[in-house]
Each structure stands twice: as C-alpha cells, then as structure tokens.
Structure 1
Amino acid sequence: MLAFRNLWRCQNQISIISQNPVRLLLKNYHNKEPVPVSWEKPEIGWAKLNFDGSSKGRAGKASIGGVIRNHKAEFLMGYAESIGRANSTIAELTALRRGLELVLENGWSHVWLEGDAKTLVEIIVKRRQVRCAEVQKHVSHINSIIPELNSCIVSHIYREGNRTADKLAKMGHYLEKPQVWLNPPEEVLPLVLEDAEGKIFFRRR
C-alpha cells in the first residue's frame, strides 16, 4: 500500500528547474468558444509519434500505447503493452520512452512527439525536477534519447486529437505481452483513417 501511495504522490511533486532547447508547441486556448481539434500530419521527411498511457485508479493496472505515422498520415508502426501497476504519470512517461526506443531502432531521425498530458510535455521540454525517483528515472532516459535525433518537436494535443494512441493504450490492458504492429489493428483502423482525413472535433473549455 505504501508503494501505491508513493506513486500517487509523484504526480504532485513537480517544480520548475530549467529550460530545455527542444522546441515546444503547446496549444493554449484561452477563449470560451469551442476549440477545433484534429490530428496534424508532420512535414515531409518527418515521423510523428503520438503516445498515451492508461491507468485504472491512482496506482492501478496500467498500460501504454502509441502510433508512428509519416507526412502522408500512413501508419508506420504501433505499439501497446501492459506495464503492471502504475499511476498515470508513470504510464505516460513509459509510453513516450517506449515510443522513442522504437524510433531509434527504426532509424527515424526527424521526429515530432505529441501527447495529451500537458504537464508531462512541459516536464520533458523544460527539464522540470521531480522528487519521485521513478519519474526522474524515466525523464532522464527520455532526455538522453532526444539528443540522438537530428530534429525533434514536442507538443501537447487535446485528447480528441490523440484518439489513436489512446485506443492503443487501452488495448494494452488486455495484452499478455508487448505488441508491435506494422499495420494498424482492426480496432484502431477507423481512427487512423479519420485522422488521415483531418476529422475535426470541437472541444469546449
């Protein structure tokens, strides 16, 4: 029980230390009008990694997922897996870490990283210090991988624009072992096609 409480506390112990030169594209909408949200294609020559984590409860069963696509919105790779018990912070960081490992393994060097957890995006970009050792371990590993890329953009997107990664992360709960797809599984194919078509959702703040 103590371990689970510590995992929960990790989500609330973040303080800013310094800045990171990685480009940050945080989409801040301050008006009360509906905000159009859609998945955006990367530029030619770039790969885009959308990642997400799923956790049931403060420190319940967790899983991760992500998808990598090119400038044509073509599905290059997807992944998902169960990671045992973890809070949402650890799940999100694990999803990004695993995605970056696959990026390096496959030789993509110009990469756009995008997730729907704004605080975690800021942790990576601004190198925020965290008191939780497990969170810091993941952050350090992620920040050691990013410099190996020729170019990297890190951005936040609302959940409506991250549906494919979200679906894969939820699928991870039911997997007995880590899974990597070179073609979109049936469960996410409709979402991949809608993203490619530029389907727009309207979100109220």
Structure 2
Amino acid sequence: MKLLENIIARDDRFVEEVRRAKAKQIVSINANESEIQWKRPPSGWVKVNVDASVSLIDNRAGVGVVFRDSGGRWIRGAARSVGRCNALLAEMWTIHDGLLHAWLRGYRRVVVESDCLKVELYHIGRGRNQVTDRMAARGCNSERTAVLLSLPPMEIRGLVEEELRNSNMVTVEFVR
C-alpha cells in the first residue's frame, strides 16, 4: 500500500509540474496554422484522437476517443468515466481505450494523437525491442501481477549491454 501511495504522490507532483510548465508557455500570435489544425492520417490509416478531463474539485476523470479515416470522416467515438485519478493516469486510460477500441475493431494501422504534454509514443521495429520483449515474456510466466526491478534480470543483462553498445554508449554499469 505504501508503494502505491508513493507512486500516486509522485504522479501528483509530476502533474503539478506539467500544469506549471503549461502556464509558462507563451502562445505566439504568428503560430503556424498547420500546427494548430487537425491533420488527416495517411491513406489506409485510422487516426485516434484521445483526451482526458479531470475535475480540479474532486479529481473525477473522464476520457474521450474519436476515430476518423484518412478522409477525415468520423468512424466512431467513445467517452467514459474512469473514476477519480490524476491527469496523467487519465491520459494513460484514454490512450489505452483508444488502442483497445482500435484493436477490437480490426484496425492495425493506427495513428494516436494526444495533447498530453509529457508523453510521446513511437514505433520501433521488433528487433530493436528485445530487452522489453524478454521482460514481457517474464511477465507471462510470473505468478504476481507486477514486479518492480531495480536491476535487469541476469538473463537479459547481456542484451541491455548490447543495446547500449549499439546506441554508441561507451560504458555499461548496473548500479543499485
């Protein structure tokens, strides 16, 4: 329980930092219009726009998801409550919901857009994700719902070192 409380407190501090950063942003009057307008996804792709809303009064949160095709036409939308949580967790829920709905509907070419200031998602090829792939395999074979590790497991340390060498990192050191 203490770990969960620490995570929530850290997330709350993070959200407050994001709010302060947003408050300091200055919007240029000469902003490029292409940066503030919705853009269509590439042909054959579906765009999933996601957003979350959190009440500053009682932390009630809701999420919204909108699907559009490459012509910009509405495919479907969804909205739901996610209970009480902070803004970062609500944003994670809306990304989860968007990807889940996309997958269940058979969409495999999906662009996800979120206005979350501190999160960026990128696609990497299977060969570049070996360490995380091995961790996921460990999760499949685990009896517990979650295990937090401060050091990489012995059986994947070689992969971690290899990835660091291939990314032009000079030294590899595992510190507790």
Count of matched residue pairs: 110
More strand by share: 1
Gaps of 5+ in 2: 16-25, 124-145, 147-176
Higher RCO (Cα < 8 Å, 6 or more apart): 1
Decide whether aligned partners of structure 1 residues 4 and 77 sit closer, same or farther in structure 2, where only a CA change above 3 A counts: farther
How far, CA to CA, are the matches of 1:49 and 1:83 in structure 2?
Answer: 19
Question: Match for residue 34 of structure 1?
Answer: 30
Checking the alignment, whether the CA contact within 8 Å between 1:42 and 1:48 is kept in structure 2 is yes
Decide whether aligned partners of structure 1 residues 77 and 4 sit closer, same or farther in structure 2, where only a CA change above 3 A counts: farther
Please tell me the residue identity of whatever aligns with 1:9: R
- TM-superposition CA deviations, 1:22-57 (whole Å, max 9, x none): xxxxxxxx9944212100011110000000010012
Checking the alignment, whether the CA contact within 8 Å between 1:53 and 1:95 is kept in structure 2 is yes
1:107 aligns with 2:106: yes
Decide whether aligned partners of structure 1 residues 31 and 83 sit closer, same or farther in structure 2, where only a CA change above 3 A counts: closer
* SS of match in other structure, 1:94: helix
1:91 aligns with 2:90: yes
How far, CA to CA, are the matches of 2:83 and 2:71 in structure 1?
Answer: 35
The alpha carbon displacement at 1:116 in A equals 0.6
The alpha carbon displacement at 1:118 in A equals 2.4
Question: Match for residue 158 of structure 2?
Answer: none
**TM-score normalised by structure 2 residue count:** 0.53
Percent identity over paired residues: 25
Please tell me the residue identity of whatever aligns with 1:111: V
Question: Match for residue 142 of structure 1?
Answer: none
Decide whether aligned partners of structure 1 residues 45 and 83 sit closer, same or farther in structure 2, where only a CA change above 3 A counts: same
Higher Cα Rg, which structure: 2
1:1-205 equivalences in 2 (<5 Å): 7-12=8-13, 32-35=28-31, 36=33, 37-57=36-56, 60-121=59-120, 124-125=121-122
* SS of match in other structure, 2:97: helix
* SS of match in other structure, 1:53: strand
* SS of match in other structure, 2:53: strand
